[in-house]
Amino acid sequence: MLRCQRFSTQVQLHRNTEISAIVTKTALVTGAAGFIGSHLCDRLLADGYSVTGIDDLSSGRRENLSANFDLRVMDIRSGEIHEVIADVRPDFVFHLAAQISVSISAREPRLDADVNVGGALNLLEGIRALDYKSVKVVYITSGGTAYGEPAVVPADESTPVHPLSPYGASKYAVEMYLPIYERLCDLEYSIIRLANVYGPRQDPHGEAGVVAIFSEAMLVGKPLTVFGDGTDERDYVYVGDVVEAISLAAVNSATGPYNIGTGIGTTTDRIFELIAQYSGHTDSIVHGPARPGDIKRISLDASKAKRELGWLPQVSLEDGLNTTVEWFRQQAD
């Protein structure tokens, strides 16, 4: 009798394994080794997805991902993208890879469009070649660059789109292609427009956000200059909350766009003060000339995401900044 029970248990385990294999969803994440992309990969793996990443490592870091993570190192414009898509046959595609420098986009708008628009089209054509395979695309973009400097804040999704840089224009252009590809092939999509994202793993170099720049500089004693008078306002949202919104959009049939932010504008001076408090920095704020073209005030109304996705930010600015500073402290040790 024991032998029969054991055999029955083995059969049930085998059936459970088969069922698990059937329901496992596959995800392809572009920009997987980047700040937001790596956090998203962690979340998808924890949720039971089979995840493959694409990144050319121009700004992403391999160490942001687990040692055995399936990362395909290539440019988003490469023809190899089609081979990866055919190999993985993803149920979900999360598109984060982009040329992210606003200053580079101004100097080299054709390069910016080639990467951001051409790369996205290359990805979408790879999905289109899957024939009857249904795919959900979640496109992650910037709310601040889409709306420019809106007359009313916080800006909701009905705010006119008014990019102030080639980068903003190229990112918005991809939004226009998504409904076209919805008609061309069996593709669903959602659009996520992010506020200023911050948190662990953000790169403090290049055109990084002020949270990463301030955190690293204060912990190692580098001099800091705040551009302008410090009263400019941004909407700061923690990376963990962003990943939650992206995950919710993936399993929701609504297309968006969805603003993901707190709806609260925080001045650069206030960010400086909080990070100084958590890092033990005691130097006074030094202000320099304002940078031409910087937006004075932007925040995003995320009421639509609350209503349709059930999303609300959970991490307060104070808790998020403290966590971020502690992560940078560990990197400095």
Residue type present at position 71:
L
Catalytic residue positions? Answer: 167
- Calpha distance 131→154 (Å, rounded): 41
Residue 226, SS3? strand
Distances (CA, A) of 24 to 27, 44, 50, 123, 290: 10, 11, 7, 23, 50
Of the candidates 257, 215, 210, the one whose C-alpha atom is nearest the C-alpha of residue 236 is: 210
Which domains, from first to last, does the chain contain?
2-200+236-263+299-315 (3.40.50.720)
d(CA 275, CA 268): 11
pTM of the model: 0.91
pLDDT tens track of the chain, all 333 residues?
333 333 333 334 344 444 344 568 999 999 999 999 999 999 999 999 999 999 999 999 999 999 999 999 999 999 999 999 999 999 999 999 999 888 899 999 999 999 999 999 999 999 999 976 789 999 999 998 999 999 999 999 999 999 999 999 999 999 999 999 999 998 999 999 999 999 999 999 866 689 999 999 999 999 899 999 999 999 999 999 999 999 999 999 999 999 999 999 999 999 999 999 999 999 999 999 987 767 889 999 999 999 999 999 999 999 999 999 999 999 987
